[in-house]
Every structure is written in structure tokens, then in C-alpha cells.
Amino acid sequence: MPTLNYLCPTTSSELKKILKKKKTDSFILAGGTDLLVKIRHNVVKPKEIIDIKKIKKFNEIKLTKTQLNIGCAATLNEIAENKTIKEKFPAIADGSLSIGSTQIRNRGTLVGNLCNSSPVADTVPGLLIYDAKIKILSPTGTKTVSIHDFITGVGKNILKKNEIVESVILPLPKNTKSAFLKNARRKALDLSSVNVAVGLFNKSKKNPDIRIAVGACAPITKRAQKAEKFLKKNGLTDETIKKAAKMLPISPISDLRGSKEFRNKIAHRLFIKLATQLGEV
Amino acid sequence: MKTITFTINGEKETRDVSESKTLLNFIREDLHLTGTKEGCGEGECGACTIILNGKAVHSCMMLAVEIDGCDVETVEVMSKDGNLDILQEKFIEHNAVQCGFCTPGMLMSARALLLSNPNPTVDEIKTALEGNICRCTGYKQIIEAVSDAAKGGKYE
Ligand SMILES: Cc1cc2nc3c(=O)[nH]c(=O)nc-3n(C[C@H](O)[C@H](O)[C@H](O)COP(=O)(O)OP(=O)(O)OC[C@H]3O[C@@H](n4cnc5c(N)ncnc54)[C@H](O)[C@@H]3O)c2cc1C
Ligand code: FES
Ligand code: FES
């Protein structure tokens, strides 16, 4: 590894000063489970590392009356074990729990998963169905953007070089059931060939407020708006679910984790399984 | 170079370390604790597992400077005055060690589990060990050894 300058601010104001001077060869370090692999393979060559974990409030998972705030240093295991997240946002809890292994989840963060912006990221489908908001911190202050505008390409997002994600905000939903499923070659330590999150946000089977996101099947994981609209209009039955499966916005590629045809089939199957389960109870 | 202070296997230490050194290399090369192994160097195998503030983590996926102010345990913490820890004894008894390369990592993952959950189910043991790969034993003996060591729920 080349020589590095390591910075470890302990307050937001200290961090803001550092961000003001941040150059393009300076990288934010959360759990490091993506970044250290990239450094090892010379994909990135940082001159400076900014460790954000020692800022106390970044580690918090905080519930208010209307929303849940997940700080950027909260680990995947803290998230997967959090009672409120398991209850109200199971697609986030299960997505987090499906990542890597115990050791990876003890270090890796949800915000790191999001900022890495890989099409296979397992927490992203959940963030999409809960309409997450992303709180961005820059030297001049904070702003909030929609998750739907955050990821802009494979490994790309809207963050400018002197911005970081401070937290992810999940509005508390009423009357919901939701779930996440992932298909991988083995249970632990494997990236998804397909991952799916589906949520039902009202109690109506006739006009279901259903939200669907299928990941690892396109450069950017997005909500399946066409399928959602179709189901809202035509109700949730075995037949409409099968039809909706054909409307998923997926254009999978073939790679070592599965062929195009395989991914298409698995995406349909996972979606049908989840949508049917949600419609049942 | 940066000066860091941390606890290693119960002893407080202050050291100068290069900012670009991984924790794994620091443990092996600077602290001369060579029980911790490098398999893959990128989070896939678990041979480098250590316990950081009570949690099992990969030392290959961290910078050494990150442990400033932290509590670190390596496999060397387990035996005291030549006496093996119950986990180590049970690994031997159940033939859970063949070539032994995965063993330090396995022991650290198992220890982190038992310290936080003294009466784990088999599923909980499997989850705790899911990041540790063994090319020799086939895992069955390892899981049995951990279950056996946990009996009575008094691991410390
Ligand atoms: C063995 C192994 C298995 C894995 N399995 C999976 C898997 O099954 N599913 C999956 O989705 N991923 C998987 N991953 C990838 C990785 O563990 C996750 O993406 C993890 O959530 C990343 O979080 P982190 O905190 O470690 O990120 P880091 O490595 O610290 O950061 C990732 C990137 O985001 C940037 N960044 C981090 N935090 C911020 C912030 N607050 N603001 C701005 N930028 C930021 C960093 O600069 C870096 O570019 C795996 C990785 C390994 C090594
Ligand atoms: S050497 Fe760290 S996980 Fe393989
Ligand atoms: S005993 Fe050889 S790798 Fe596990």
C-alpha cells in the first residue's frame, strides 16, 4: 500500500473543515469492507483517508415519532439486530443480514453499501421500497435528497468530492408488510445474482399500494413502477402477480454469478414468491 | 507514522505505526503475534479473524491506525500459563483441527460468539462461523467442538 495520510475527526465541525480541503485522491472510510479491497487491487490509490466512525452521532440509530435515522457509521449487524428495523423495515434488516459474513457485518455499514453504489448492493432494494431520504453533509451544511435520485450509474452517485452521507432517513410507514429475498450461489460470503424487496403499504388487495424493487439485474436498481401501477389497478391475485412479473424493469447481464436467462427466471420467481406471501395474510 | 494506544490481549500498548499498514500485518510484523493468519487478504476466508471491542472482525480489512483506543484480542489470548482454553481443548478432542490454518480464525469467531451468547443454538454457531472457511475438516467437527465447549454456558 502507498503511504497515506490518515485523518480521524471526532466532531462534525472538524469533519467539515477537512471536507472543505478534500481532494479527489482522498477517500471516506467507514467499515472499509469495500474500500480496503479496492486499495489492495489498486482500483483506487488514496493519498488520504478520512475515517468517519469516531464521530459519535454518526453511530446512532435513532427513532422519532415519524422517522428512523440510521447514522453512516452504524454497522450492518447493528441494523440487522435493531428491534424497530426488524419490525418496521424487515427488507432493510434482512438485506443487511444477507451481506457477507458475521465479520463483514460487524464492520460494514449500510451507508457504505449505498455509497459504494454497486448494482448488487443488498440494502438498496429495501431503501427504495421505503422511499428513504439521504441526508448529505458538506462544508456548508446539510441537505436531503430522495433515494430515487441518489445512484446515477454502476459505482456512481450524486455525491460531490466534498460531500458525505451523514445518515439515511426512513419515514415510518403505517399498515405495512414487506420482505427481502436474495439468490446467491451459497448462503454466506456471496454477492447476489438477484435480490428483491417487496412491500405492501395498505391493506387493500383490490387496490394494493405495492412497492417493488429488483436488484442486480440492471446498472441502476429502480422501483418497478409499471408493475406497481398494474397491480394497484388490477388487484393482487395469482394471475395479476404473474403478469406483473413480466413488467419488472430488468435487463440482466450474464456473468460468473449467473446467465441472463437464469437471472430473468430467478427475478420472476423471487418476485412472485414475495408478492404472493404479502397478499396471503 | 502515527502513535496509537490500544489494549492487546489485556495489556495496554502504545506504538508508532505506518498509516498504510493493515491491522493484520501490524499484528504479525510489529506485535510478533503470528497466530493470526493471512489466507485471502480480502475478507473471504476468516483466517485473519480477531476480536475488536468484543466483536469478531477481519484484521486484513482494517488499517492498524483504526485500533487507536480499542480493545483487541488475538488467538494468543486464549491459553494461559501453558493451559489451553476450553474451546482449544474441545477442538482437539473433536478432531476439529487438521492442517490448522483456519483454526486461529475459527477459535476467535467461536470465542466472540460464546462471550456474547454463552448458550448458542447450532444455527447461531453456524452463523458465527459462516465467514470462516476450512478446506480440511468439513465443518461438522468444528461445530460439535463449539457446542461442546459451550455446555454449561460458562465460557469466559
Ligand atoms: C467478503 C465480502 C463479502 C461481501 N458480501 C456482500 C454482499 O453479500 N452484499 C453486498 O451488498 N455487499 C457485499 N460486500 C460489500 C461490502 O461489504 C458492503 O458494500 C458494505 O456495506 C460496505 O460498507 P463499508 O462501511 O465497509 O464501506 P467502505 O468500504 O468503508 O466504503 C465503501 C465506499 O463508500 C464510500 N463511503 C463510505 N461511507 C461513506 C459516507 N458516509 N459518505 C460518502 N461516502 C462513503 C467509501 O469512500 C467507499 O468508496 C462484501 C464484501 C466482502 C469483502
Ligand atoms: S485473510 Fe482476512 S479474510 Fe482471508
Ligand atoms: S483445518 Fe485445514 S483449513 Fe481448517
CATH code at position A90: 3.30.465.10
Domain boundary among B76, B94, B125: B76
Q: Cβ of B63 and A106 within 8 Å?
A: no
Q: Cβ of B55 and A33 within 8 Å?
A: no
Which of chain A's residues have a Cβ under 8 Å away from the Cβ of B128?
A: 102
The pLDDT score that the predictor gives to residue B151 is 93
What CATH number is attached to the domain comprising A34?
3.30.43.10
The pLDDT score that the predictor gives to residue A185 is 63
Position A262 confidence tier, pLDDT thresholds 50, 70, 90: confident
pLDDT, averaged across chain A: 93
A31 and A115 in one domain? no
pTM of the model: 0.96
Structurally, chain A folds into a number of domains equal to: 3
A76 and A29 in one domain? no
The pLDDT score that the predictor gives to residue B18 is 96
In this predicted structure, the answer to whether residue A223 has a pLDDT above a threshold of 70 is: yes
A141 touches chain B (CB under 8 A): no
Domain span holding position A9: 5-51
A65 and A47 in one domain? no
Q: What is the pLDDT of residues A94-144, one digit of tens each?
A: 999 999 999 999 999 999 999 999 999 999 999 999 999 999 999 999 999
User: Is A15 within 8 Å of A52 (Cβ atoms)?
Assistant: yes
A189 and A273 in one domain? yes
B101 and B61 in one domain? no
The pLDDT score that the predictor gives to residue A2 is 67
B67 and B12 in one domain? yes
Position A204 confidence tier, pLDDT thresholds 50, 70, 90: confident
**Residue of chain A whose alpha carbon sits nearest to that of B105:** A103
φ, ψ at A156 (rounded to 5°): -120, 145
What CATH number is attached to the domain comprising B103?
1.10.150.120
Domain span holding position B110: 86-150
Q: Which residues contact A1 (CB under 8 A, 6 or more apart)?
A: A39, A40, B20, B21, B22
What gap in Å lies between CA A197 and CA B89, rounded to an integer?
A: 44
Between A3, A37, A51, which is nearest B43 by CB? A37
A positions 35-54 inside 8 Å of B (CB):
36-37, 40, 49, 51, 53
What CATH number is attached to the domain comprising B57?
3.10.20.30
The pLDDT score that the predictor gives to residue A186 is 64
What gap in Å lies between CA A91 and CA A127, rounded to an integer?
A: 8
B70 touches chain A (CB under 8 A): no
Is B146 within the bounds of a domain?
A: yes
Position A174 confidence tier, pLDDT thresholds 50, 70, 90: confident
Is the pLDDT higher at A187 or at A253? A253
Q: What is the pLDDT of residues A22-78, one digit of tens each?
A: 999 999 999 999 999 999 999 999 999 999 999 999 999 999 999 999 999 999 999
B58 touches chain A (CB under 8 A): yes
Is B62 within the bounds of a domain?
A: yes
**Residue of chain B whose alpha carbon sits nearest to that of A5:** B19
The pLDDT score that the predictor gives to residue A124 is 97
Q: Which residues contact B152 (CB under 8 A, 6 or more apart)?
A: none
Q: Name the residue among B74, B77, B84, B95 with its Cα closest to residue B142.
A: B95
Q: Cβ of B57 and A6 within 8 Å?
A: no
pLDDT, averaged across chain B: 96
A197 and A230 in one domain? yes
Q: How many A-B residue pairs are in contact by the CB < 8 A criterion? A: 85
The pLDDT score that the predictor gives to residue A42 is 92
Cell (9 digits) for B113: 460468539
What gap in Å lies between CA A128 and CA A114, rounded to an integer?
A: 11
What is the percent of chain A with per-residue pLDDT over 70, rounded to a whole number?
96
In this predicted structure, the answer to whether residue A188 has a pLDDT above a threshold of 90 is: no
B68 and B121 in one domain? no
Is B156 within the bounds of a domain?
A: no
What CATH number is attached to the domain comprising A223?
3.30.390.50
Which of chain B's residues have a Cβ under 8 Å away from the Cβ of A107?
A: 57-58, 61-62
The pLDDT score that the predictor gives to residue B83 is 95
The pLDDT score that the predictor gives to residue A249 is 85
Structurally, chain B folds into a number of domains equal to: 2
B11 and B55 in one domain? yes
A239 and A185 in one domain? yes
Q: Is the CB of B45 under 6 A from ligand 2?
A: yes
What gap in Å lies between CA B29 and CA B42, rounded to an integer?
A: 18
Position B121 confidence tier, pLDDT thresholds 50, 70, 90: very high
